[in-house]
Amino acid sequence: MLRRSRDVEFEIDHVHTAAEAIGKLDLNSYDLVIFDLGLPDNDGVAAIHRISLAHPSTPVFVLSGDERHEIAIAAIEAGAQDFLPKQHLAGQLLTRMAAMSIARQKRLRTAELASLTDSLTGIGNRRATDHAFERRQRRRVGGSPVFGLAMIDIDRFKSINDLYGHDVGDEVIREVAFKLSKASDPDWDVCRHGGEEFTVLFSSSSIEETNLIADRLQSSCTFSHGAAPVARVTASCGATLVEHDDTFRSASKRADYALYASKQGGRCRSFIHDGKSIHPVTRVDLSPFAFAPSADTTVALAFRQGQSKV
């Protein structure tokens, strides 16, 4: 019916099971879901609940051959925006309802985007981290870790405020947000957790990779702010890999332990929590080598880790 509409052009993906629908919703952004209660793998109202919980900003219309009042109420209570009995469905009515719902949703999306954005820095806020974390956990397949969480906190920020004033403090927070975003890959989630603390969710499947990423994020926050007087800015980082059964709370607790170790260890450094214990991230110090590397210098390095040479 929607495809035949002459008034509105819809782009439509058609899938045959609730599982396929949820998979598509996790990967793409849709304006509307039209959900048939009679799908083969469908557990009815529970599936609507799952979809609306996972994608609260996508409206769901439910189609059903069962016109009973209680089914319609249960669908709406589970999160559906509308309930459409198949027998009485006309193309024009469906087109109109879909177009109006999409228009309404656009307005709500703008408001939702504002509610997920930190007003000082323009990056995501703490709610945005929660959303991004849940989205990444839903997308993960199998039990192995596929993303990490880093917490980055500006060092002795109170003294920046005290020495240079609150406005300069705000500028420093904005600059750190910018530097972290620049040091991050496009698909990472960089958010301001609150105050002078930031979170980054990044793709990583090993502790070694997490080490490198933590170092890259933390070192991007070492800079001088402003002309005389210059504020020297550094930050500390704690990071961990996210396990399949982690909540944001459990993963951030580990990252926070690691961040605390970085502060205790003298600041301007990173620690990693590997699930059991905390380790410092060691940076290779090239200063003993008497050469000035340029952009096209290739460096071969050998490391000794414990008893084995890598």
What is the binding site for ligand GH3 (CB under 6 A)? 120, 153-158, 161, 166, 169-170, 173, 195-196, 263, 267
Output 58 or 252, the one with its CB closest to ligand GH3: 252
What does 158 interact with, of Mg ion, ligand GH3, none (CB < 5 to 8 A by kind)? Answer: ligand GH3
What does 33 interact with, of ligand GH3, Mg ion, none (CB < 5 to 8 A by kind)? Answer: none
112 in catalytic set:
no
Which stretch, 11-19, 35-43, 57-65, 146-154, contacts Mg ion (CB under 5 A)? Answer: 146-154
What does 166 interact with, of Mg ion, ligand GH3, none (CB < 5 to 8 A by kind)? Answer: ligand GH3
Residue among 266, 161, 159, 151 at smallest CA distance from 197:
151
Output 10 or 260, the one with its CB closest to ligand GH3: 260
| Alpha-carbon span 80 to 73, nearest angstrom | 9
Across the strands, what pairs with 236? Answer: 153
Of the residues 112, 171, 175, 196, which is catalytic? 196
Instruction: Give the one residue of 118, 153, 189, 215 binding Mg ion; rule: CB under 5 A.
Output: 153
Output 91 or 194, the one with its CB closest to ligand GH3: 194
Output 34 or 259, the one with its CB closest to ligand GH3: 259
In the bound complex, what is the minimum distance in angstroms from residue 267's beta carbon to Mg ion? 9
Q: What are the Cα distances from residue 169, in Å, to 124, 161, 180, 181, 211?
A: 19, 5, 17, 19, 29
Site membership for Mg ion, residue 157 (CB under 5 A): yes
Output 75 or 176, the one with its CB closest to ligand GH3: 176
In the bound complex, what is the minimum distance in angstroms from residue 194's beta carbon to ligand GH3? 7
In the bound complex, what is the minimum distance in angstroms from residue 154's beta carbon to Mg ion? 5
In the bound complex, what is the minimum distance in angstroms from residue 225's beta carbon to ligand GH3? 12
Residue partners of 236: CB distance under 8 A and separation at least 6? 152, 153, 155, 218, 259, 262, 263, 267, 268, 269, 270
What does 109 interact with, of ligand GH3, Mg ion, none (CB < 5 to 8 A by kind)? Answer: none
What does 169 interact with, of Mg ion, ligand GH3, none (CB < 5 to 8 A by kind)? Answer: ligand GH3
Which stretch, 29-37, 190-198, 246-254, 280-288, contacts Mg ion (CB under 5 A)? Answer: 190-198
| Alpha-carbon span 154 to 222, nearest angstrom | 10
Active-site positions read 196
